[in-house]
Amino acid sequence: MAELERLVDRSVLFTSGDRDPTEPVPMRFKTLAPEQHVLMGDDPRLKKMPPQPTLMDFFRLRFAPAHHLLQSATHARKAGMNEKVITACLLHDIAILGFIRADHGYWGAQLVEPYVDEEVSWAIRAHQALRFFPDESVGYTYPEMYVRLFGADYKPEPYVEEAYRRARKHKWYMTARMITVYDVYSFDAAATVNFDDFADILGRNFNQPDEGLGFDNSPVAHMWRTIIWPTKFL
Ligand SMILES: [Fe+2]
Ligand SMILES: [Fe+2]
């Protein structure tokens, strides 16, 4: 029904991997009915976002369920980690939940970079590479799950190994390493965790822009807007 008025073209068509992007596709917008336009705003299939959206609005209205992030942050808090580590754990996979899976540590770090302490975004970026490399000093071993997911003979690409070596020498190495330590899926299924438990920590460690995420003219505002309106034609 909605398409009668607004044609929703798939903006991710070129990067989704669902098809070879160099192959021509029918340009659906070239056959618009006279009264029909393309979508340039809210996608009727998605929940409506408020005009000045907060991080919590994105978690509620755009991101996949955040159990894994809440679990990681809970583990970190129970272990007595400081607020930067807990914040980093709470946000470490934000890109997977709301944007893109490939290179998610880099995308996620970039999304939150203007709003968190430099140490937090640095750690989120670095966890991407550190996950593949053990650190026996803190009891972190190569994840069993990775053997299952990637195969026993999987070896990270050289750029990942280089990122690991750089991170190893960095003053904030342990902050990123702690993300990998608490980045686990094992959790008491009966335990209920939600964002309210971390509202105070987020309030102190995530600098919410007054204009709303996407509208503060930050270097990453466009990324938040794309999550708000992922199917906008332009
Ligand atoms: Fe991750
Ligand atoms: Fe994770």
Q: Are residues 63 and 28 in the same domain?
A: no
How many angstroms separate the alpha carbon of residue 132 from the centre of ligand 2? 12
- How confident is the model over 113-128, as a mean pLDDT? 98
The verdict on 200 and 149 lying in the same domain is yes
Average pLDDT in the 169-193 region?
Answer: 87
Clarify whether residues 78 and 194 are in a common domain: yes
72 with 169, same domain: the answer is yes
* Ligand of minimum distance to the alpha carbon of 101: 1
Arithmetic mean of pLDDT, 47-51: 97
26 is a domain residue: yes
CA–CA separation, 51 and 216 (whole Å)? 12
| 79 alpha carbon – ligand 2 mean position (Å) | 17
Q: How close is the Cα of 211 to the center of ligand 2, in Å?
A: 29
Whether 63 and 147 share a structural domain: yes
pTM, two decimals, is: 0.93
Q: State pLDDT tens for residues 13-38.
A: 667 788 888 888 777 788 888 888 99
pLDDT at 27: 76
Is residue 144 within 8 Å of residue 181, measured between CB atoms?
no
- The ligand whose atoms approach the alpha carbon of 90 most closely is 2
Q: Per-residue pLDDT averaged across 66-88, rounded?
A: 96
Give me the domain span that covers residue 155.
55-222
Note whether 180 and 127 are same-domain residues: yes
Question: How many other CB atoms are found less than 10 A from the CB of residue 129?
Answer: 23
Any domain includes 93: yes
96: CA distance to ligand 1 center in Å?
8
CA of 131 to the centre of ligand 2 (A): 9
CA of 91 to the centre of ligand 2 (A): 9
Q: Is 221 exposed, middle or buried (0-12, 13-18, 19+ CB in 10 A)?
A: middle
Q: How many domains does the chain have?
A: 2
CA of 120 to the centre of ligand 2 (A): 15
126 CB contacts (<8 Å, ≥6 apart)? 105, 163, 167, 170, 172, 173, 176
Whether 195 and 87 map to the same domain: the answer is: yes
pLDDT at res. 3: 62
81 Cα: distance to centroid of ligand 2 (angstroms): 17
The answer to the question of residue 77 being in a domain is yes
Rounded Cα gap, residues 11 and 13, in angstroms: 5
| Predicted pLDDT of residue 202 | 97
Identify the pLDDT of residue 189: 66
- Please write the tens of the pLDDT for every residue from 214-230: 999 999 999 999 999 99
Same domain, 6 and 110: no
Of 131, 129, 124, 126, nearest to 97 (Cα)? 124
27: number of Cβ within 10 Å: 8
Q: Please check whether residues 7 and 77 belong to one and the same domain.
A: no
